[in-house]
Amino acid sequence: MARVPLIDNAANDAALAALVEKLKGARRGKLLNLYRVLLNSPSLAEAWQAFNSAIRFNTALDDQARELAILRVSQLNGADYQFQIHATKYAPEAGLSTQQVAALDNSEHSNLFQPAHRALLAYTDAMTLDIDVPDGVFDKLKPHYSNAQIVELTILIGAYNMHTRVGRALRIDPEAS
């Protein structure tokens, strides 16, 4: 159960009601528990949605690269909320198999991942677990991604480290199916 109230009723506040509709519109008509928690601070909920949308949908990263990074950060940080949503909905939409999702722990040695994705996952691990990325890890990433994509990937990984840690600290539960 979330540590702060889940906000979903903005009937007495026109500005909040408009923000709720905006958040729903950005999330296929659904108000996710994450945003219901963030609505305790409407200005941050709005900024979070804008930033999260930019890092997920306005980059040169392909869908599989994006979802692999998000899944791995979520897995490493024990963030069941984000992992469940991405593993069951967004990963399949991106063309990732359930076998690939299950193999994330051993991606370095798995033939289920192409070299670019193995390099991305090693980079994700280094950023999430160690913060400092060794040159060897970065050097393996560079042949597969442009400078812009490396910056976008780095920001995505950093943002999802924040995302998953907020979810865990506030104990945000996954939505009921």
pLDDT tens per residue, range 20-52? 989 988 877 889 899 999 999 999 999 999 999
For the ranges 29-33, 46-50, 62-66, 173-177, the lowest mean pLDDT is seen at 173-177
Give 84-110 pLDDT, tens digit per residue: 999 999 999 999 999 999 999 988 888
Q: How far apart are CA 83 and CA 72, in angstroms?
A: 8
- Tell me which of 146 and 21 has the higher pLDDT: 146
- Average model confidence (pLDDT) across the chain: 93
> What integer pLDDT is reported at residue 164 of this predicted model?
95
Q: In the structure encoding, which two tokens stand for residue 63, read together?
A: 């869908």
Distance from C-alpha of 70 to C-alpha of 148, rounded to nearest angstrom: 18
Instruction: Note the pLDDT of residue 70.
Output: 98
The reported pLDDT for the residue numbered 177 is 62
Would you say residue 58 has pLDDT above 80?
yes
* CATH dotted code for 63-169: 1.20.1290.10
Q: Where are the domains of the chain?
A: 14-57, 63-169
Q: What is the pTM of this model?
A: 0.93
